[in-house]
Amino acid sequence: FFDLQTLTKHSISTELFGMKRYGYGTGFGIDYNNNNVFGNAENLIIGANASFEFVSPAVLEEIDTTATQSSIFRSYELRAEYSVPRLNFPFAFLDNRPGFTNATTRYLLAYSRSDQLLFDINSDIGFNTRFEVNHTQNYSSFFDLIELDVVDTNPSDAYIRNLRNEFGTDTLSDGTIVDGFELQRILEDFNPQISSIIRYTFRSQDTDLIKRNRGYFSEYSISIGGNIPYLLDRSVITPDTLEGHLPSLFGLSNNELNYSRFIKISADYRRYYP
């Protein structure tokens, strides 16, 4: 006999959790899922979560002697993902052609904000347009047409000082004292910045992705970054003048958002043996 069951069109899931880090806190999240939004197998997911943590004055003073009041740390996140089982513009002409099967187009938008000990994330905004397609059973392609991320942060001097105390510094051959490599990477993450990436990824595999007990898995990609903020800087924000940074989005802070242009090539090959 046949047992057929349709997908639930609307579904809502929630979660409630507690946590203890510097103090005690709680958080909650909710996700809404809509299958077949417009009748053509589209999928829409909208989610939100928030967390709150109360930290006593005694704990704050142990971490930062300048802190004298209790504080509530907060973080919020909103996200939406929309996907369709086909290639949309500008690659719609390739849809269902030989060598372009099981295609998916995904759009992702996310926003988060966080007020934490000694640093604030004024805004973290991400947007991505991604195309996925199978060429054969073993070959697949993924193309991120636009991967945009805006991170606007305010780390305090006390926070940076604590990081230096934890990770230490390095001394060059000429006696110059500089931040350690790991610390430089952490500090770079806290610089207000805007990044944009165009990325093509080719995947070849002949293995069970769960067991991974035979065959091989390989993935190769090339990325070009920084072109969107570069064009905004040169042609929109300050025409004919290259500043090397952009103003904070929507005037949320007085920070300048740095950006860099780059080309990145990566390769990953793995072989599995029983």
Closest CA to 132 of 225, 202, 43, 42: 202
Check pLDDT > 80 for residue 52: yes
Cα 167 to Cα 124: distance, rounded to the nearest angstrom: 26
163 forms beta bridges with none
Q: What pLDDT is stored for residue 87 in this prediction?
A: 94
Q: What's the pLDDT band for 19 if we cut at 50, 70, 90?
A: confident
- What is the SS3 assignment for 63? helix
Q: What pLDDT is stored for residue 64 in this prediction?
A: 66
Within 13 Å and on the Cβ side, how many CA atoms surround 84?
A: 13
Of residues 212 and 172, more confidence is placed in 212
Average pLDDT over residues 2-26: 87
Residues 206-257 pLDDT 10s:
988 788 888 999 999 999 999 999 999 988 888 878 888 888 877 767 888 9
The model's pTM: 0.83
Looking at residue 232, what DSSP letter applies? Answer: I
Check pLDDT > 90 for residue 5: no
Q: C-alpha 119: how far from its chain's center?
A: 19
Q: Strand runs (DSSP E) across the chain, as ranges? A: 10-20, 24-35, 43-55, 71-84, 101-116, 119-134, 139-155, 169-171, 177-179, 193-205, 216-225, 245-247, 256-258, 262-271
Q: What pLDDT is stored for residue 60 in this prediction?
A: 75
Residue with tokens 């060059």, as numbered in its chain: 172
Residues 60-94 pLDDT 10s:
777 666 655 557 888 999 999 999 999 999 999 99
